Amino acid sequence: MIAGKPATRRLTRLNMNKGMKIMNVQQLVEKNKSWNLSRDFAKKLLILSGLLAFSFLAFLISIGQGSLDLSFKEVLRCIFLEHDTLNHRIIWNVRLPRTLVAGLVGICLSLSGSILQGVLRNPLAAPNIIGVSSGAGFMAFVIFILFPEYYHIVPLGAFLGAFISTILIYVLAWKDGAHPMRLILAGVAVSALLGAGINSLMIFYPEKISGIIGFMVGGLSARTWPHFKVLLPYASLGIGMALLFPHKLNILALGDEIATGLGLNVEKTRMMFIVIASLLAASAVSVVGLLGFVGLIVPHTARLIIGSDYRYLFPATAILGAGVVMICDTIARMIFDPVEIPVGIIMALLGAPFFLYLLRERRQG
């Protein structure tokens, strides 16, 4: 009896140990299961790394190509290692800032479009639907034509014009809340009005058109570090948002009633996202002009590639946007060298067919 007690105790302890071991095995199985379960996650991660590789390649090509051709290795060495060579100066003062501006513009416009497609629940939504293009264009025209001595404030004017017309559209669409369809219709109406304004200015001041045509088409020539610094805070804001709030947009995409039922303040969230989308697009437009197409085509392409879950869609859109604008700008610089053509034209020429191809592929699948 006396000797038996510790033995039993030991036995129990052994059993307990065994029990714990069994639990550990179970946990392991659970863990493994969840690893298997996230095959979808792995797939999306793979797509994201693919996009990242594409963008990085675009970055190297964009910097390497020009009147002075450099290999990838030389490009990297010039950026990070060399300091006083001619190559370094060309890259550091001319090509790198321009490429970075192209990347940031791509990020800003694409994220803006992506946000708007989600908030307005409309695949055709793009920055121009909330008046960014028309507002910026109108203000730029007014400054250029009526106050030509202040032409240097065109970017600021464009920024304000874009942002103010968004606010105007939002206010006009408000009636017990800003319903997506009303927002879109108000956007179309205000854009038409501002477009009429632009057209009348063009008719009354035909001799001034050539000066502003570059702004209307959008281009990246002679963009350097100051432009980059203007864009950086907005792009950072957009990327920050993308990391912080993808859930809110996902929930908003389920419909207003469901979103309210899940405890999301629908109107507040929608307004916040529209303001951010407008800021993103306005900052891009103020630096490079009306480069509207990116905001429609990149978010849509990203959605076709990676799906509509904003946790993955946001990063995919940003990365793809940066890559696409960088590569298009390179082509715009190179194709009729030494004459540059505006990047907006290349974007439309290459983007539209590719987009249509993706759309048809997807339909068949």
Binding site for other proteins (CB under 8 A): 37, 40, 121, 175-176, 247, 250-251, 253-258, 260-265, 307-309
The nearest distance, CB 168 to other proteins, in angstroms, is: 22
Residue 178 phi/psi, 5-degree rounding, is -100, 95
Q: Which is nearer to other proteins, 224 or 308 (CB)?
A: 308
Give the shortest CB-308-to-other proteins separation in angstroms. 5
Nearest distance, CB of residue 34 and other proteins, angstroms: 9
**Which CB atom, from 103 or from 246, has the smaller least distance to other proteins?**
246
Residue 221 vs 308, nearer CB to other proteins = 308
- What tokens does 283 get? 């900052």
Q: In angstroms, what is the minimal distance from the CB of 311 to other proteins?
A: 9
Widest distance between CA atoms in the chain: 113
Which of 74/256 has CB closer to other proteins?
256
Nearest by Cα to 109 from 343, 354, 361: 343
Tell me whether residue 37 or residue 203 sits nearer to other proteins (CB atom): 37
User: Least CB distance from residue 312 to other proteins, whole Å?
Assistant: 10
Residue 276's H or E segment, with its range, is helix 266-288
| Nearest of 291, 307, 296, 299 to residue 343 by alpha carbon | 291
Strands (E), 174-331: none
Taking the complex as a whole, the smallest distance from the CB of residue 233 to other proteins amounts, in Å, to 22
Give the three-class secondary structure for 92. Answer: helix
Q: Is 130 or 266 the residue whose CB approaches other proteins more closely?
A: 266
State which residue, 227 or 248, has the beta carbon closest to other proteins: 248
Least Å distance, CB 302 to other proteins, is 13
Token digits for 69?
């051709």
CA 29/CA 26 separation, integer angstroms: 5
Q: Which is nearer to other proteins, 157 or 246 (CB)?
A: 246
CA separation for the pair 339, 333 (Å, rounded) = 7
CB closer to other proteins, 13 vs 362: 362
Contact call for residues 163 and 135 (beta carbons, < 8 A): yes
Residue closest to 71 by CA, chosen among 61, 59, 56: 61
CB of 97 to other proteins, least distance (A): 35
Residue 352: CB minimum distance to other proteins, A: 24
Task: Give dist(CA 244, CA 87) in Å, integer.
Answer: 40
DSSP structural state of residue 331: H
Asked if 157 and 142 touch (Cβ cutoff 8 Å), the reply is: yes
Note every long-range contact of 271-276, with CB atoms under 8 Å and residues 24 or more positions apart, other chains counting: 271/170, 271/178, 273/115, 273/116, 273/118, 273/119, 273/248, 273/249, 274/115, 274/116, 274/119, 274/130, 274/166, 274/170, 274/183, 275/166, 276/112, 276/115, 276/237, 276/238, 276/241
